[in-house]
Amino acid sequence: MQPVSIAIFVSNDEIPSNGDALYPFKQNSDLYWLTGIVQEDTMLVLFPDHPDPKYREVLILVRPNELKEKWDGKRLRAEEAKTISGISTVIWLDAHDALLQAWIHLAENIYLDSNENDRKSSLLQTREYRFIEETKKRYPLHRYLRAATVLKELRAVKTAEEVTVIRQAIDITAKTFLRVMKNMRPGMFEFEVEAEIQHSFLSQRATGPAYGSILASGENACTLHYVSNNQECKDGDLILMDFGAEYGGYNADLTRTIPVNGKFSKRQKQVYDACLHLHNYAKSLLKPGITILDYHVQVGREADQVFQKIGLLSKSDVKNSTPEQPAYWKYLYHGISHHLGIDVHDLGPRAEPLRAGMVLTVEPGIYIQEEKMGVRIENNIWLTKNGNVDLMKDIPITAEEIEAYMKRSKA
């Protein structure tokens, strides 16, 4: 932060669904990363140069209300919030306004937060943006700065403690995948597979799924974000399963593609092995120093060659392609990696070199609509100074390992 600056972070909204119902509350990721507090109506104020040390870090909470607690459950007391956040000064939301005004008057710059995830597509005005408008209207002569640019740098590189929590989410996800393989059979519906996943997550004390699980059998696998999960898993089909557990606010993100009947056909195995080759090739490139943009270009060149070998592209297809429209895009139409952490698509650079400590996915896919088949293989990778560490290395990944486990579990 620049000298004589104050930074203010606000929680997410409680979002209404229908009638008097609310969607499950999800805390603002930056506020959670800074405080560990998941309660609604929370604020954080950081003012490192405040003349009074007790106001250099302030956590603002909704005051516990006996009647509301009878309806909605217990709210944090000050001492509990101090223990969770490590912040020693806690004040109540209904008494913060005058204090905040005085603090802002002492500051020259105001850092406000916003959602600067490159993948953001919703135009819904969230509480962050309403707070920005209200603050600028009330204090028009201050200099305003973006907190998101600072948080993007801080959150992109994980501490060893963060990786420990991610490993726990991955362990829950790994055990869930084994359970799914054990129970998979022709005639199951995709939503039954989803139910197995949800049950396994909760029984292992995960918060729940990190995102809407994708259970795409047969041709459904060619839809990248297929979430209907309502079709029958048929004998002879593959099922692409993209799911992960959330634990301690951090996420796992696994994709495996398995045969519904436990046995890959010759063609399915050929395509699966080609995808696994791309997965391993991409993993070998993903090291500190490379940029996501350069990495994708190199993986794309390899995909052009691999797709020729399995009969999807011809030499002329590759020769006549352009950098803006590469040949492999016909069968692989998404990025290969994204940052992972508190958000499944976490904050991190695309044009700048990757750094040690970052955690990313590796998830190439091959989608052949004319064959009604899609394959994707995804692991989570921790970049270190000594190379990358595959956090999912112990989860079955080869066609042989998957077939052997499915056969053994049904014996």
Residue of 128, 171, 194, 378 with catalytic role: 378
Cβ atoms of 84 and 36 closer than 8 Å = yes
Give yes or no: 378 in active site.
yes
Query: 321-337 burial by CB neighbour count: b if 16+ within 10 A, else e?
Result: beeeebbbebbbeeebb
- Angstrom distance (rounded) from CA 58 to CA 38: 16
Is residue 253 among the annotated active site residues?
Answer: yes
Among 75, 127, 185, 345, the active-site one is 345
Annotated active-site residue 237? The verdict is no
Mark whether 20 is an active-site residue: yes
Q: Which amino acid is at 159?
A: T
> Per the residue annotation, which of 56, 256, 338, 339 is the catalytic one?
338
Is residue 394 flagged as an active site residue? no
| Residues facing 61 on adjacent strands | 92
Could you say which of 63, 138, 146, 334 is catalytic? 334
In the annotation, is 338 catalytic? yes
Taking the C-alpha atoms of residue 95 and residue 283, their distance in angstroms, rounded to an integer, is 52
Distance CA 177, CA 173 (A): 6
Q: Out of 113, 242, 246, 304, which one is annotated catalytic? A: 242
Annotated catalytic, 105?
A: no
367 an active-site residue? yes
Torsion of CA 175, 362, 278, 376, to 10 degrees: 50
Nearest by Cα to 91 from 54, 116, 122: 54
SS3 83: helix
Exactly one of 128, 246, 343, 363 is catalytic; which is it? 363
Q: Annotated catalytic residue: which of 13, 196, 367, 403? A: 367
User: Pick the catalytic residue: 57, 219, 246, 253?
Assistant: 253
**Cα 261 to Cα 294: distance, rounded to the nearest angstrom:** 39
Question: Which is the catalytic residue, given 20, 79, 161, 324?
Answer: 20
242 is catalytic: yes
Single out the catalytic residue among 205, 225, 267, 408: 225
Question: Taking a C-beta distance cutoff of 8 angstroms, is the pair 375, 382 a contact?
Answer: no
Instruction: Provide the annotated active-site residues.
Output: 20, 225, 242, 253, 334, 338, 345, 363, 367, 376, 378
